Structure 1
């Protein structure tokens, strides 16, 4: 009971805007940060965000992620249960629903329904959700400032209890969606396989361009491979620019730089 009281206190403080004490909810976010730092692909980050939403959002019983392809079609690459895929698909087919509306370019940032049994906005989805026992939903936009070919997506949280997804849940979901948005900011991938592949491709491209830049420095300055890499790394730190970007500039514009 003591742990439950601490948990409820943390949730109340989080929703009030006060600085929460170091309790269960704060510990969950610390653990999420550790897991996100250990994740190596956008798909893995989204998996951690979805799992965290399931654990820490008050009232969460089912969680999914909605992403949009450049042609506007919707996909659910990650969820905590197959029912989420089915309920998301109902919305995708109807072209409306909280997941779809939150992922729209004109989204208000989040879409919520406290009681799907009386919800009139999305009749097909509401009927399907209540049939599966879910009576409330909260969808929060992912990558709200996306520009084509990338399009906004949504973090979707389903609850079996009417009114369970309150302001506290909304604020917590916003923080988690921010993590997901950062993971997706540099990719237009929409499926789990594409999310993994796009990251692998960028990693390979980065290694290739770093190798090219090292070769240029070794040839032009008579450096060893280690010395060339150290020079790139120091330049990256001094300029506060990613190492791959420094290497790409050198590899693609070294002739221009020679003329300076």
Structure 2
């Protein structure tokens, strides 16, 4: 690994080169040929958006959005961050089910995103069939029970200086063998962009990451807990059964679980679920 001065120099060159490429090769408009490499166009958009991002949370949200656009198999995406003390948390995700799936990995200590986020860890870890993967005998079936078939995680290295942070970009698919070989290369490129952008932002401290994570955790748990309580009272079912109703309805309606729970909590007198 390069020393600190090399790392700072690399970041500076990345910023300047990315701006130059974005200016010299603007993204094709809808009137231009779509055959000029859609993936290249997506990365050009991502580069410009990352350079314009003003906060860590904004950088991560834009990376996750790029993942869902660049890799068709992605149904849910999330970011894992590992603090120097070894603890894991999820500051950003595209759907609350991603947060829950990550928590299962942290609790069991196994799974692709946990492996990829560790130092030293693999640059890429994946499972084509979560329900039957011998590498993760606890997490795999738990993820499959929540509707996921495969998972691809790539390492994030947002800072080379102490206290060193590491992480992983986690891509979930509801299908087994959902990811193509070329998707792994795309994921690695996305992770590289994310790592450099995170290293170039000033708001990347452990304290900020934990504030983001705690705020999301409290908000998500509160609204889902309210919705579960409504269903438990209405149907006379257990908390686990109420969560299954929410998850199944969320998937069938293609609505984020937290959004569905919030709607039910606000309009429970109008909605039959």
Does TM, scored on the shorter chain, surpass 0.5? yes
Cα deviation 1:212-239 (Å, max 9, x = unaligned): xxxxxxxxxxxxxxxxxxxxxxxxxxxx
Q: Distance in 1 between the 2:139 and 2:207 partners?
A: 22
Q: Structure 2 regions of 5+ residues with no counterpart?
A: 1-33, 213-273
Question: What is the aligned-residue RMSD (CA, Å)?
Answer: 2.3
The number of residue pairs the alignment matches comes to 177
Aligned to 1:153: 167
Aligned to 1:70: 84
Aligned to 1:189: 206
What secondary structure, in the 3-state scheme, does the structure 2 residue paired with 1:137 have?
strand
- Deviation, 1:93, is 0.9
Q: What is the 5 A alignment of 1:19-98?
A: 22-98=36-112
- Deviation, 1:155, is 0.2
Query: Is the contact made by 1:150 and 1:188 (CA closer than 8 Å) also made in structure 2?
Result: no
Query: Is the contact made by 1:58 and 1:164 (CA closer than 8 Å) also made in structure 2?
Result: no
Aligned to 2:18: none
- Deviation, 1:193, is 6.5
Cα deviation 1:125-152 (Å, max 9, x = unaligned): 1112111211100000000874542232
* Candidates 125, 139, 145, aligned match of 2:139: 125
Query: Is the contact made by 2:158 and 2:199 (CA closer than 8 Å) also made in structure 1?
Result: no
Answer yes or no: is 1:111 the counterpart of 2:100. Answer: no
Moved segments of 4+, more than 3 Å: 144-148, 190-195
Q: Distance in 1 between the 2:60 and 2:207 partners?
A: 12
- Deviation, 1:185, is 2.5
Q: Distance in 1 between the 2:158 and 2:53 partners?
A: 22
Cα deviation 1:167-221 (Å, max 9, x = unaligned): 21111111111121113336343655657xxxxxxxxxxxxxxxxxxxxxxxxxx
Q: For structure 1, which segment, 23-32 or 165-174, has the greater mean C-alpha deviation from structure 2 after superposition?
A: 23-32
Q: Distance in 2 between the 1:144 and 1:113 partners?
A: 24
Q: For structure 1, which segment, 63-72 or 123-132, has the greater mean C-alpha deviation from structure 2 after superposition?
A: 123-132
Going from structure 1 to structure 2, the CA distance change for 1:194 and 1:172 (only over 3 Å counts) comes to: same
Structure with higher Rg: it is 1
Query: Is the contact made by 2:81 and 2:91 (CA closer than 8 Å) also made in structure 1?
Result: yes
Q: For structure 1, which segment, 137-146 or 96-105, has the greater mean C-alpha deviation from structure 2 after superposition?
A: 137-146
- Deviation, 1:40, is 1.1
What secondary structure, in the 3-state scheme, does the structure 2 residue paired with 1:158 have?
strand
Cα deviation 1:94-147 (Å, max 9, x = unaligned): 111111100111212110111112111112211121112111000000008745
Length-normalised TM-score, structure 2: 0.59
Going from structure 1 to structure 2, the CA distance change for 1:32 and 1:144 (only over 3 Å counts) comes to: closer
Q: Structure 1 regions of 5+ residues with no counterpart?
A: 1-19, 196-260
Answer yes or no: is 1:167 the counterpart of 2:198. Answer: no
Cα deviation 1:52-80 (Å, max 9, x = unaligned): 00111131111000001221100100000
Q: Distance in 1 between the 2:138 and 2:159 partners?
A: 29
